[in-house]
Amino acid sequence: MLSVKSAGAFGSRLTGAGWGGCTVSLVKKSNAEQFIAKVREEFYNVIGAGSNNDLIFVSQPGRPAGIMVIQ
């Protein structure tokens, strides 16, 4: 089992359908590529999906919810 903490994440959470759809991990921006490489090596390569770049990617938070005035 891959330990995302040892890969450099501050924390991680399972999310998605049935709690098994994906994980969201909090990682320093400067460690993102290293984190991806380690997860790819220790998990995706083991299950034979290491070359699929759509399975793990970096994202950033968007704007928060707000009020939109429609006239």
Has residue 67 been placed in a domain? no
Residue 14 bridge partners (DSSP): 23
Say if residue 47's pLDDT is above 90.
Answer: no
Query: How far is the first Cα of the chain from the last one, in angstroms, to the nearest whole number?
Result: 54
Has residue 70 been placed in a domain? no
Question: 10 lies in which domain range?
Answer: 1-60
Mean pLDDT of the chain: 84
At position 47, the amino acid (one-letter code) is I
The per-residue DSSP string of 1-43 comes to ---HHHHTEEEEEEESGGG-SEEEEEE-GGGHHHHHHHHIIII
Q: How many domains does the chain have?
A: 1
Say if residue 67's pLDDT is above 60.
Answer: yes
